[in-house]
C-alpha cells in the first residue's frame, strides 16, 4: 500500500529546517504523499527514510523490457487490479514458438508464418510480439544458429527456451537484441549468472508461488535483476489463480520478493492453451508462449488484448477533420460520422466499397459512437452546424447537401435550420451505403448560389 502523509512524516527528521523549501516537515510529507516532491529534496533525511520512501515510490510491479528499439516489449509496471480503476498499461506480450530441430525448410516457413501474425484493426497494428525458440536438438551450435536466423528473419525479440549450455552459445550471438533467457528450473543458477553478466532479462520457472519465492531469491542471489516469474501451472485453472495472486502480491501486499511480471509457457502439451491464453490476457498474464501460429487463434487473442488494454477513459479515436474517400470533387457527396475509431473505420470501409468519391466529415465527439455521442449531447444539431461552418468543407464543394447517419435522423431539422445545409438521411447501418450512394439522384449535389 502507498504510504500516507502521516507515515511519511514519521520518517522525516521533524526539525522544520525548511531546506526542502516547505515551511514544515509535515507540509513536505504531504507533498511527497501527493507525488509532487521526492525525498532527495530533504538533505537531513536518514538513510532508512530514503530507502523506505524510494521503495514506496517505485511501481508496485517492476518493469521488465525484452528486445530493443521499435520492437522492445515492456512487461509489468501496472498499478491496478481492475482496468476500470485506471487502466492497464502494458499489454500481455504474446510469443509464438519454433523448434530448433526443424528442417531448414520447416524453420523458414514457420518464421514466415509468425511474421504474418500481424493485423490491422481500427487503425492500429496488432501483432505477435516475440519468437520463442525451443531447444529440442540439445545441440548448442545448432541452437545458436537458429537464434540468429530467427532474429534475422523476423526482427522480433527472442525468448530463449533452452538449457544452460545452448543458452550461453545463443547469447554469444544474439545478446545485443536483449533476448529473454528462459532456462529449465534445474539450470536456473548458471542462467541467472549469465543474465547478470550480460544484463539480460531472465524467466524464473518454479512450481507455484512457494516454489517461485525460493527460485526468485536464488536468481537474485546470482545477481540477476530483471526477472519474470513462471509459476509453471499444470492446468488453465491453476494458471489463472497463480497469475492473479502474483499480481495481488505486487499491488495489494507490495511484496517485493514476488512482485514480478508473470510468464506462462502454454506450449509443449499444456492442456487447452487457447482457453488458458484468453483467460490470462484478461487476468494478469504478462507474457504467454504459444505453440499455435494459426491466425484463427491469434487474431481473436490479439483483438481481446487490444480491447482490454485500451484506456477505459480514452476510446481509440481518430483525428477529427475532413477525409477524402477516393478522389472527391466539388460536386461529390458530403457524409458525416464521429471520431470513434470503430465507427470511422467501419464507415470508411463501407464508403470505399461504394466506389463513389466523397468527403467524409469526422466530428470531434471524444471518440464516441454515433448514438453514444448523441446520447451524451456531443453529436447535436449545434455541433454539426458548427463543424459545417468551420471545417472548410464549404470551400471544397459547391453544393450544400449533407448525408447524416440514419440513427440520428432526428437531428436533420435542427441542422437545416442552423446551417442552411440541406440534410439527406442516410441508412442506419453504413453497410447499406454502397447501394444508397449509387441510388442517389444525379441532381442531389448541384451547386447552390447566393
Partner 1 sequence: MSVALPIPGFPGRILAVTLPAGPGGTPVTVGGQNALPLLPEGEHPNAPAVGMEVRTGPLELPPALAGTIGPFAGDPAAMARKCAGDWGARFLFLSLAGCHPDAGGQSVSFGAAVVREVLSATPAPVIVGGCGDEEVDARLFPAVAEAAGRPVFLSYAEEKNYRLVAGAALAYDHGVVSWSPIDINMAKQMNLLLADLGFPPDRVLIDPLTGGLGYGMEYTFSIVERIRLAGLSGDAALARPILCHLGDAWKAREATDASEGSWGDVDLRGRRWEETTGLACLAAGADLLVCRHPSNVARLSGAAWR
The dihedrals phi and psi of 98, each to the nearest 5 degrees, come to -145, 150
User: For residue 141, what are the contacts with CB-CB under 8 A and spacing of at least 6?
Assistant: 169
Element (H, E) at 117: none
Sequential DSSP letters for 383-450: HHHHHHHHSSHHHH-SS-EEEEPGGGGGGHHHHHHHH--EEEE--SSGGGHHHHHHHS-GGGG-----
Closer CB to partner 1, 220 or 237, in the complex: 237
Task: Give 376's DSSP letter.
Answer: T
Binding of ligand B12 by 426 (CB under 6 A): yes
- DSSP 3-state of 347: helix
Question: Is 237 a residue that touches partner 1 (CB under 8 A)?
Answer: yes
Residue 311 found at the interface with ligand B12 (CB under 6 A): no
Whether residue 278 contacts residue 304, with contact meaning beta carbons closer than 8 Å, is answered with yes
The Cα 345–Cα 209 span in angstroms is: 44
Q: Considering only residues 3, 33, 42, 334, which one is a binding residue for ligand SF4 as defined by CB under 6 A?
A: 42
Task: Check binding of 19 to ligand SF4 (CB under 6 A).
Answer: yes
CA distance 362 to 340: 9
Residues 318-347 binding ligand B12 (CB under 6 A) are 335, 337, 340, 342-343, 346-347
28 binds ligand SF4 (CB under 6 A): yes
Say which entry of ligand SF4, ligand B12, partner 1, none residue 415 contacts (CB below 5 to 8 A, set by partner kind). Answer: none
- Measured between alpha carbons, how far is 210 from 142 in angstroms, rounded to an integer? 35
Angle made by CA atoms 377, 379, 383, in degrees to the nearest 5: 100
Picked from partner 1, ligand B12, ligand SF4, none, the partner binding residue 18 (CB below 5 to 8 A depending on kind) is: ligand SF4
Give 40 or 120: the residue with its C-beta nearer to ligand SF4.
Answer: 40
What does the radius of gyration of the chain's CA atoms come to, in whole angstroms? 28
342 binds partner 1 per the rule CB under 8 A: yes
Q: With binding defined as CB under 6 A, does residue 310 bind ligand B12? A: no
- Measured torsion, CA atoms of residues 243, 249, 254, 258, in degrees rounded to the nearest 10: -70
Give me the least distance between CB of 343 and ligand B12, in Å please.
3
Query: Per-residue x/- marks for partner 1, 302-341, CB under 8 A?
Result: -xx-xxx-x-x-----------------------------
Q: Which residue, 208, 67, 187, is CA-closest to 128? A: 67
Cβ–Cβ under 8 Å, residues 336 and 363: yes
CB of 259 to ligand B12, least distance (A): 32
Shortest separation between residue 10's beta carbon and ligand SF4, angstroms: 12
The residues of the shown chain that bind partner 1, judged by CB under 8 A, are: 82-84, 116, 119, 121, 209-210, 213-214, 236-237, 240-241, 244-245, 248-249, 252-253, 255, 258, 272, 274-275, 278-279, 282-283, 294-301, 303-304, 306-308, 310, 312, 342
The residues of the shown chain that bind ligand B12, judged by CB under 6 A, are: 315, 335, 337, 340, 342-343, 346-347, 367-372, 374-376, 403, 405-407, 426-427, 429-430, 433
Amino acid at each position: 500500500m502507498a504510504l500516507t502523509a502521516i507515515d511519511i512524516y514519521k520518517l522525516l527528521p521533524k526539525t522544520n529546517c525548511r531546506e526542502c523549501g516547505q515551511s514544515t516537515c509535515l507540509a513536505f510529507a504531504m507533498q511527497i504523499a501527493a507525488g509532487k516532491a521526492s525525498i532527495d529534496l530533504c538533505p537531513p533525511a536518514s538513510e532508512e527514510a530514503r530507502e523506505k520512501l524510494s521503495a514506496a515510490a517505485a511501481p508496485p510491479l517492476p518493469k521488465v523490457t525484452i528486445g530493443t528499439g521499435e520492437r522492445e516489449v515492456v512487461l509489468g509496471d501496472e498499478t491496478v487490479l481492475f482496468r476500470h480503476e485506471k487502466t492497464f498499461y502494458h499489454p500481455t506480450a504474446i510469443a509464438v514458438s519454433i523448434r530448433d530441430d526443424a528442417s531448414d525448410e520447416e524453420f523458414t516457413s514457420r518464421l514466415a508464418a509468425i511474421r504474418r501474425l500481424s493485423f490491422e484493426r481500427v487503425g492500429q497494428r496488432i501483432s505477435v510480439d516475440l519468437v520463442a525458440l525451443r531447444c529440442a536438438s540439445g545441440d548448442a551450435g545448432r541452437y545458436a544458429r537458429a537464434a540468429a536466423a530467427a532474429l534475422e528473419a523476423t526482427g522480433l525479440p527472442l525468448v530463449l527456451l533452452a538449457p544452460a549450455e545452448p543458452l550461453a552459445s545463443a547469447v554469444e550471438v544474439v545478446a545485443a537484441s536483449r533476448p529473454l533467457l528462459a532456462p529449465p528450473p534445474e539450470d536456473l543458477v548458471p542462467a541467472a549468472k549469465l543474465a547478470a553478466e550480460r544484463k539480460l532479462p531472465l524467466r524464473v520457472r518454479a512450481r507455484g508461488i512457494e516454489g517461485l519465492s525460493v527460485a526468485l531469491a536464488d536468481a537474485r542471489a546470482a545477481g540477476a535483476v530483471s526477472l519474470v516469474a513462471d509459476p509453471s501451472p499444470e492446468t488453465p485453472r491453476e494458471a489463472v489463480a497463480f497469475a492473479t495472486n502474483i499480481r495481488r502480491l505486487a499491488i495489494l501486499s507490495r511484496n517485493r520478493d514476488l512482485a514480478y511480471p508473470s510468464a506462462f509457457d502454454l506450449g509443449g502439451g499444456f492442456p487447452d492453451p487457447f482457453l488458458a491464453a484468453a483467460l490470462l490476457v484478461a487476468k494478469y498474464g504478462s507474457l504467454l508462449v504459444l505453440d499455435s501460429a494459426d491466425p484463427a487463434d491469434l487474431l481473436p487473442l490479439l483483438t481481446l488484448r487490444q480491447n482490454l488494454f485500451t484506456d477505459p477513459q480514452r476510446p481509440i479515436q481518430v483525428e477529427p477533420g475532413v477525409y477524402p474517400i477516393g478522389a472527391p470533387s466539388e460536386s461529390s457527396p458530403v457524409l458525416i460520422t464521429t471520431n470513434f475509431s470503430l465507427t470511422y473505420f467501419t464507415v470508411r470501409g463501407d464508403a470505399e466499397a461504394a466506389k463513389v468519391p466523397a468527403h467524409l466529415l469526422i466530428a470531434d465527439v471524444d471518440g464516441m459512437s454515433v448514438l453514444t455521442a448523441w446520447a451524451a449531447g456531443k453529436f447535436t444539431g449545434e455541433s454539426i452546424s458548427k463543424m459545417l461552418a468551420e471545417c472548410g468543407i464549404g470551400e471544397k464543394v459547391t453544393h450544400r447537401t449533407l448525408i447524416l447517419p440514419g440513427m440520428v435522423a432526428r437531428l436533420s431539422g435542427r441542422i437545416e435550420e442552423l446551417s442552411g445545409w440541406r440534410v439527406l438521411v442516410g441508412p442506419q447501418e453504413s453497410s447499406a451505403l454502397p447501394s444508397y450512394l449509387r441510388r442517389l439522384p444525379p441532381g442531389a449535389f448541384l451547386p447552390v448560389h447566393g
